[in-house]
Amino acid sequence: MEAYFFDLDGTLTDSRQGLYTSFRAALTALGLADIDDRELAHFLGTPLPEMFRKLKPGIIQSEIEHGITAFRVAYERDGVYQNHLYDGVLDILREIANQGRKSWIVTSKPQPYAVRVVQALGLKPHVSGVIGAGLDEKDTKADLIGQALELSGLENWQVVMIGDRHYDVEGALENRIRPIGVLWGYGSKAELHRAGCTDFARTPTEFIKKYVEIQPTGLRPQELAQRYAVVR
C-alpha cells in the first residue's frame, strides 16, 4: 500500500461554520426559507447542485448556477476562513510520511477553493497533491478518485480512500479501492456502512494505530466483488 486519499471537509478539516454561512447565502439567492443548522448538517459534503435539487424540486440549471454564485461569493468573503483542522489530523499525515507513504487530498470542493484551504491551514507540505472538482461541480467523487489515480500513477490496490460521507465510500468502491470511514466528521457509521464501508476509525489516534502503524492491504478479489456490487 503506497498512498492514502483523504477527503477534505469533515475528514481533515471542520468547515461547518463557513459552509453554513455560505449555504444560507445560496438559499436567500434562490428565494428559499432559511433552515436551521441541524437540517443544514445533512448537506455537509453534498455537491451544491444536488443540495439545491433536494431543497427545490424542479429547479432549473440557471437557478442552480445562481445559487452556486451566491454560495461562492459568501465563501470567498467569509467561509474559507471559518475553517480549522481537526485535532490529530496532522499527526496522521506526519505518521504516514514517516512510514514512507504519500497522502493526497481528493475533495468535491472546487479545486481553487480546496487549494486555498490547504494553503491557509498549512497542509501543503504534508500532501503530494490536491484533486478538486471543476467550478461547475459536476464531478462525482468517483470521477475525482479516478483522476487522483491517474495523476498519482498508482493502481487501485495501492491506495485507500478515507472519508466521512457515503460519497467517499461509493466513489472508492466504484474505483475498486478500499474505503475507510472516519467517525469524527459529518456522516454517521450507519450511513457509511449502508454505502459499503466496513472499516472505521473513531478518532485520529485510532486511525493511526489501525491503518498507519499496521499497513492496510488492498481489497481481496472476493471482498472487492461483494463491496463493488453495493454501489454498482
Q: Within a 10 A sphere around the Cβ of 212, how many other Cβ atoms? A: 21
Q: Write out the three cell numbers for 214.
A: 499496521
Q: Quote the CA–CA distance of 117 and 57 in Å, as a whole number.
A: 32
Residue (of 209, 160, 206, 200) closest to 182 by Cα position? 200
> What is 144-190 written as a DSSP string?
HHHHHHHHHT--GGGEEEEESSHHHHHHHHHTT-EEEEESSSSS-HH
* Bridge partners (DSSP) listed for residue 85: 13
Whether 7 sits among the annotated catalytic residues: the reply is yes
Among 7, 9, 14, 168, which one carries the catalytic annotation? 7
Q: How far apart are CA 73 and CA 75, in angstroms?
A: 6
102 - beta bridge partners? 3
Give the SS3 label for residue 63.
helix
Catalytic residues: 7
